[in-house]
Structure 1
């Protein structure tokens, strides 16, 4: 019978990995600092688990060799202790020197990225060193290998995890999230590497089987590995969320304080926030899940979104991050996993191997697919009825980036300037660089971001069913009529709603935006926006060209 040394055996994930190993007939040396929880775990899981009180900090090759001498069937070290951020790779190096495999549940970007430095030593020792054998990146990539098979081109990848509020949260997991909240995170978005604040880029979406969940940017190894392995043309994002809105939005507010420079970090708040999470634990549900989606051009030329969803019922969600590690350790124990070397755990465990571990839990999965319609403006106006520059400026399939230059006249008065800032409208700006990013969704909507220096204007556009467009800026929705002009297109505001209620004319924005080819054949625009009671909010104009 093979044996695994499990570090962090009494943590939220360690206990569950120990349970999976014992259920699989693999003996466990359960290591943790406190003896009482170890004894309780041994009493629950039986004779295949041996308590081993020890501090991870004291683990070195000599200690591992001694343990291997005492337990000749010892084949691997599994680390579920965390957090892995800013940790040196010495424990994994010690495992290599002792001739033992290493499997960890790391979700730390730096740890997983750096594990390849041990590859030569691991190959020479004939052992496997697998970093990130968890929901990210092992499971997310195993799923993507399935749902991207045969794709001609990959445009967007989005991975999301949303645990139920009643799921246990270890302090180590909270430290990992809080360490990056509000801090700049390097992310591939809009076809380029840029930065976004941790717990930013927020989204609220319906996840099949879970309902509406809030999600925000979270730093994990996937932010690098999704780009390296799948080369998306537009986006590669990883988001996580808290089920209760008060917790998710509260963390977003605290993250803003870090982003604004009012706090250096949220790490000092780990313990009080962990205590608050325990107080709120009875609320929400014990249902969590994971969603992995890709927008790709398929072999048949169709632009399609494929979405894999996992839902864990009745508190089984915390088992999910342990299952890729369990699958890897099973494979090492029975000899079916042939990989040797040190690498992130991607492309090593196929989906079927991981999915076999789902059977012991209340876990269901599904794959949905949805084709994209033609771009919004093409559906409404027809591609051949406008100048080529205007058609190219709206060819969102499923992503379009435009760059150029623009200028803006600011608001007519301070109250108008306040309203303009509230909706992200550009302030007075001399000619400056301008970037516009447009993203289509399978439901036919388009999300637009206009990136001015120091300010971003965001809106979501959809067809109104009457030949026009509804453009939503947060709680405000403008109603736009489209009409062709002699040289291009006019988008005229015909009304507005706030929180779903029609606004009286004196409160509704007034605009007649023009789009036309300039003298050089580029997409040009002139957008005045005013409100009767406030006067001009902004008027911006300039030119744009598609980014190759």
Structure 2
């Protein structure tokens, strides 16, 4: 597969580019590509995607903004007419989360709740582009489906504890937005509630984050999204030594009509948290090479859980599963 990279100078962007170049079945080209891979955090825009479709190229990006995932549906008819696929949010959100949430939903007659948690680990955490995206959402409320009803929630509001797998454990955090808050309200999951909690690496860092946001809202600090590296360094100094982690909890009613909860946790190496976005991006590209189903939308139903799990483990990610009783031992890698 020939891939044209729209690269951004971020941790994730550089890592994805290096990973694509190391894959024997992928060739990075400037022209005549089969697919455009946008590794940036900011949406490229409808015009850029349309240009790719007109050139006969598929489109894949890693942007996890919910508004972008919702708006891309306007290109669905064009993509199908051209016989091309437009897959947005193919990084950690929704590329990684989707196959695990869907596998849990398949075992339920009704999905009541999808809870997502992102622990911003000390010394690693989000890359600067993703942190900039997160901070840019501070001026907007977050539209969430809770208990089957839509409501507007405060950015980083609704302080709550989220249970991450060991060694991270329980951390306090607040509301954040991502494409999953839209994707998992749609078929086939159709959850009655979807939430994302972002949590700093320690209680001190969490209190500091809330103080920082209060200063921003009072106008004492201007445009923090334009200086994400400083914000990340500040959180790191207040944090402990816990790594980053991504966790999923899917709750609903099982086939026996009893409550069922399935948890999935992902703890990347401290020095390489970006693997949580790199692995699903590569698996999305492989799915397009094998079966390029035309259409435009978020990364849903494109990535196969087993293949993604194997790639994550090869990247050093520890995968932990759990249920109503809590987290179990890490799932061993297959030989």
Runs (4+) of structure 1 exceeding 4 A deviation are: 279-283
The question of 1:108 aligning with 2:65 is answered: yes
Give 1:252's aligned residue.
210
Q: 184, 191, 194: which one pairs with 1:236?
A: 194
Q: 251, 267, 279: which one pairs with 1:311?
A: 267
Aligned residues: 322
Deviation string 1:401-434 (CA, Å, 9 cap, x unpaired) is xxxxxxxxxxxxxxxxxxxxxxxxxxxxxxxxxx
Give 2:250's aligned residue.
294
- State how far apart, in whole Å, the 1-side matches of 2:295 and 2:137 are: 30
The question of 1:76 aligning with 2:75 is answered: no
CA contact (8 A) 2:287 2:303 kept: no
Normalising to structure 2: TM-score of the pair? 0.87
Give 2:290's aligned residue.
336
- State how far apart, in whole Å, the 2-side matches of 1:231 and 1:266 are: 39
Deviation, structure 1 residue 311: 1.3
Deviation, structure 1 residue 326: 0.9
Give 1:174's aligned residue.
131
**What secondary structure sits across from 1:224 in the alignment?**
helix
CA RMSD of aligned residues (A): 2.5
Give 1:183's aligned residue.
140
Which is worse superposed, 195-204 or 222-231?
Answer: 222-231
267 and 247 in structure 1: CA distance in 2 versus 1, 3 angstrom threshold: farther
Q: 173, 181, 185: which one pairs with 1:227?
A: 185
Deviation, structure 1 residue 293: 0.6
Give 1:94's aligned residue.
51
Deviation string 1:6-40 (CA, Å, 9 cap, x unpaired) is 222532111111222123222335xxxxxxxxxxx
Higher strand share: 1
95 and 312 in structure 1: CA distance in 2 versus 1, 3 angstrom threshold: same
286 and 253 in structure 1: CA distance in 2 versus 1, 3 angstrom threshold: closer
- State how far apart, in whole Å, the 1-side matches of 2:50 and 2:231 are: 38
Matches within 5 A, 1:40-189: 67-68=30-31, 72=32, 74-84=33-43, 88-167=45-124, 169-181=126-138, 183-189=140-146
200 and 351 in structure 1: CA distance in 2 versus 1, 3 angstrom threshold: same
CA contact (8 A) 2:200 2:235 kept: no
Give 2:331's aligned residue.
none
Matches within 5 A, 1:504-543: none
- State how far apart, in whole Å, the 2-side matches of 1:266 and 1:272 are: 11
Structure 1, gaps ≥5 residues long: 30-66, 372-441, 443-548
- State how far apart, in whole Å, the 1-side matches of 2:85 and 2:222 are: 33
**What secondary structure sits across from 1:317 in the alignment?**
coil
Deviation, structure 1 residue 194: 0.8
- State how far apart, in whole Å, the 1-side matches of 2:278 and 2:19 are: 8
CA contact (8 A) 1:6 1:77 kept: yes
Matches within 5 A, 1:145-544: 145-167=102-124, 169-181=126-138, 183-209=140-166, 210-229=168-187, 230-233=189-192, 235-256=193-214, 262-263=218-219, 268-272=223-227, 274-278=229-233, 281=236, 284-285=240-241, 287-332=243-288, 335-370=289-324
- State how far apart, in whole Å, the 2-side matches of 1:280 and 1:157 are: 27
152 and 83 in structure 1: CA distance in 2 versus 1, 3 angstrom threshold: same
370 and 286 in structure 1: CA distance in 2 versus 1, 3 angstrom threshold: closer
- State how far apart, in whole Å, the 2-side matches of 1:199 and 1:320 are: 22
195 and 255 in structure 1: CA distance in 2 versus 1, 3 angstrom threshold: farther
Normalising to structure 1: TM-score of the pair? 0.55
CA contact (8 A) 1:182 1:197 kept: no
Deviation, structure 1 residue 142: 1.0
Matches within 5 A, 1:9-24: 9-24=8-23
Greater relative contact order (Cα 8 A, min sep 6): structure 1 or 2? 2
Deviation, structure 1 residue 219: 0.9
- State how far apart, in whole Å, the 1-side matches of 2:16 and 2:50 are: 22
273 and 114 in structure 1: CA distance in 2 versus 1, 3 angstrom threshold: closer
CA contact (8 A) 1:167 1:286 kept: no
Structure 2, gaps ≥5 residues long: 327-335
